[in-house]
Amino acid sequence: MSNELEYLGRRVVAGRLSRRDFLGRAAALGVSAAFANSMLTGAARAQSPVRGGTLKAGMQGGAATDSLDPASWSSQVPYFFGRQWAEQLVQLSADGVPQPALAEEWGSSPDAKVWTFKIRKGVQFHNGKEMTPADVVATMERHSDENSKSGALGIMGGIDSVKADGDTVVFTLKDANADLPFLLDDYHLMIQPNGGKDNPTEGIGTGPYKVSVNEPGVRLGGEKFANYWRDDRGFADQIEIIVINDATARTAALQGGQVHMINRVEPKIVDLIKRVPGVTIQNVAGRGHYVFIMHCNTAPFDNNDLRLALKYAINREEMVQKILMGYGSVGNDTPINKAYPLFTALEQRTYDPDKAAFHYKKSGHSGSVLLRTSDVAFPGAVDAAQLYQQSAAKAGITLEVKREPGDGYWSEVWNVQPFSASYWGGRPTQDQMYSTAYYSKADWNDTRFFNEKFDQMLFQARAELDEEKRKKLYADMGQIVRDEGGVITPMFNDFIDATGPQVGGWMPDGNQEMMGGYALSKCWLNA
C-alpha cells in the first residue's frame, strides 16, 4: 500500500495526477487524509532537485567493442551513456508523447508528407561550436547512408530528402507518415557536429554531460557541461557508468553503495532486494520483449515448418512464471503488445508439443538445433534457453544450448549467428518497430525476414491517415510476422531497475529501462 501511495505521490508532484485524485485513492486504501498529506509533502520534498556530487550507475550491457558512434549502439550501456552526452530533435515524455528538444516546434503539410522542424538557437556542442540546421541535415544524411550501418537505417528509408531552410529543417517523405516526430526520437539519431561525418566516435554532442572517460566495457564518465541549454536535468557534477555484467556483482555494488542505481534486476531476486534497507525496486511495464531469433535465410531456419515447430515448442506461460516471476506478460511471436495504441490482439499461440512435432517432421530436419545464449542477452536468458530445451524435447526436438561469453555477444553473436537469444526495448510506434527490425532493407533486420508483401503493407500503413484502416494493416502485418517470421517472442518484460537511498527524482518511464535512458541526467543525489 505504501509503495502505491509513494508512486502516486510522485505523479502528483510531477503534475500527472491531481491532489484530489491522490487523496481519493488514499481514502480508498483506508489511509487518513492527514497521513496522505504528510506523504505528499514528503514526496514534494524528495522531488526538489539537489545539485552536486557524482551519480553512479552499475549496468549490464557493456562490452570492449562498444563505440561512441550513435549509429552502432545496440546494447544498454552505449545507449544509456549516449542519452547523457547527446540529444535528438525530439524526445518522448514518460507517457510516450513527443516533446521539443533540439527542435523547438514542428508541423506538417495536410498530407503528412512534408514536415518542418524549427531548430533551437543558441545550443552549443561540447566543442564550443553552435549547433545549426546544417548539423541536423548532415546527421540525417549519415544515418541514411547504408555504409554507416546505422540502426536507424530502416526508418530513414521513408525519407526522400532533408534540407535546411533558414532556421528550419524540412523533411520531405516518400509517403505520408504521421509518426515522423516519434521516429526522430530514435536513439541513433543524435545530432553531432557535421552529423558525425568527420569523426562519429568523437563523443561530441549537446547533452548535459560531456564525455570525460571512455573505457569500453569497463567505465564511462561525464562531467557537467557548463553551457548546457536547459535546467531541468544535469543535476550531478559528474556521472559514471561502471560496467557490471554479472547480476550478482551488480546487486552487491548497489547494496554496498559503490553505485546508486542498477539496471536489469533479475526477477527471481526482486523480493530479496525489496528487503534491503534503503533500496527501491523501480519496475514499469512497457514494450520491451525477450526473444529467440532465427535467420529466415539460413538453413535449417529457411524452412517455415521448422520455424513453426520451434514456435510451438516453447512454453510461454512457464517462461513468464519462472523467468519473469510475473514481472511481464506472455508474448505471441510478434514485437507488438497492448502498450501500442494501434494494437490488435491475434489468436494466442500456445505450447503444443504435438503441433511442434508435426511441423518438425514436415520440415525434414534431423539432428540437433544449436541455440546460442548469454547472461547479457536478457536477465535469465540462460535459464530460459534451458527451459526451452526441456519443452522442445517433449516434441522430439533436440535443442543444443551454447552459453556464449557476454563480452562481444552483441557484435559476434546477435545479428550474426542464425539462432540466438536477444531482446528488444520496443519502439514508440508500430511503424518504427517494424521499420527497424522487420523491413527487408533494415540493417537491424536480425531475423533476416525478407517479405515483399510485408514491406508493401508497411509503406501503405505509414501513408494511411485513417486510423481504423491503419490498425487493420498493422494487424495483418502482425499475422505475417507471427506465422512466417523468424522471431520467437515468449514474453514481454517489465523494465526492472533498482535505486539506492540517496537517489532522488526517479519517475516511472515505460519507454525504456533506466527512466527511458535518462536516469543519470534527471535524477540527483539527496544529502
pLDDT surpassing 60 at residue 111? yes
**Average pLDDT, integer, range 421-449:** 95
Lowest mean pLDDT among 3-7, 262-266, 404-408, 497-501: 3-7
HEC letters along 162-208: EEEECCEEEEEECCCCCCHHHHCCCCCCCCCHHHHCCCCCCCCCCCC
CB within 8 A of 86, min separation 6: which ones? 70, 190, 191, 192, 205, 206, 207
Helix pair 467-484, 430-437: axis angle to 10 deg: 30
What class has domain 54-61+207-283+495-525? alpha beta
Mean pLDDT of the chain: 93
CATH architecture designation of domain 87-196: Alpha-Beta Complex (3.90)
pLDDT-based confidence at residue 274 (cuts at 50, 70, 90): very high
Alpha-carbon distances of 31 from 3, 14, 26, 39, rounded to whole Å: 13, 22, 5, 11
Q: How confident is the model at residue 308 (pLDDT cuts 50, 70, 90)?
A: very high
- The answer to whether 168 touches 137, Cβ cutoff 8 Å, is no
Amino acid at 107: G
- What pTM, to 2 d.p., does this model score? 0.83
Mean pLDDT of the region 478-495? 98
Beta strands at 54-59 and 238-243: parallel, antiparallel or unpaired: parallel
The answer to whether 186 and 88 are in contact (CB under 8 A) is yes
In angstroms, how far is CA 155 from the centroid of its own chain? 16
Q: Are 45 and 527 in contact (CB under 8 A)?
A: no
Identify the pLDDT of residue 42.
Answer: 58
**Rounded-to-integer distance, Cα 183 and Cα 167, Å:** 21
Pairing of strands 399-403, 219-224: unpaired
Q: Residues 87-110: what's their mean pLDDT?
A: 95
Give me the pLDDT at residue 231, please: 95
Question: Taking the domains of the chain in order of start, what are their residue ranges?
Answer: 2-46, 54-61+207-283+495-525, 87-196, 289-493
Residue 5 has pLDDT above 70, yes or no: no
Cα separation, 509 vs 486, in Å, equals 29
How many CA atoms lie within 13 Å of 295's alpha carbon, on the beta-carbon side?
Answer: 17
Confidence of residue 178 (pLDDT cuts 50, 70, 90): confident
What's the confidence (pLDDT) of residue 147? 87
Mean pLDDT for 317-335 is 96
Q: Output 5 or 228, whichever has higher pLDDT.
A: 228
Distance CA 252, CA 245 (A): 12
CA–CA dist 354, 493 (Å, integer)? 28
d(CA 509, CA 287): 11
Cβ density class 55-75: b for 16+ within 10 Å, e for less? bbbbbbbbbebbbbbbbbbbb
Q: Are 339 and 510 in contact (CB under 8 A)?
A: yes
Q: Is the pLDDT of residue 59 over 90?
A: yes
Closest alpha carbon to 139 in 154, 156, 160: 156
Nearest to 257 by CA among 242, 270, 272: 242
pLDDT tens readout for residues 187-224: 999 999 999 999 999 999 999 999 999 999 999 999 99
Residue 192, burial from CB neighbour count under 10 angstroms (0-12, 13-18, 19+): buried
Query: Running DSSP on this structure, what letter comes out for residue 268?
Result: G
pLDDT at 6 over 90: no
pLDDT at 362 exceeding the cut of 80: yes
Q: What is the pLDDT of residue 95?
A: 85
pLDDT for the residue numbered 3: 55
* Cα–Cα distance list, 285 to 76, 316, 508 (Å): 17, 18, 9
CB 488 within 8 A of CB 333: yes
Q: Would you place residue 439 in the very low, low, confident or very high pLDDT band (cuts 50, 70, 90)?
A: very high
> Amino acid identity of 5?
L
Distance CA 524, CA 234 (A): 8
Residue 342 C-alpha cell reads as 494501434
Residue 516 cell numbers, joined: 527511458
The closest alpha carbon to 315, from 336, 330, 296, 298, belongs to: 330
Whether pLDDT at 14 is above 60: no
Give residue 499's pLDDT: 98
Report whether 136 contacts 169 (CB < 8 A): yes
Hey, what's the cell of 195? Answer: 552529423
CA distance 71 to 207: 17
Give percent above pLDDT 70 in the chain.
91
How far is residue 10 CA from its own chain's centroid? 23
Per the listing, cell 536478457 goes with 378
Give, in words, the CATH class of 289-493.
alpha beta
Q: Report residue 146's pLDDT band, with 50, 70 and 90 as the boundaries.
A: confident
Looking at residue 12, its pLDDT comes to: 65
Set of cell numbers at residue 50 = 539537489
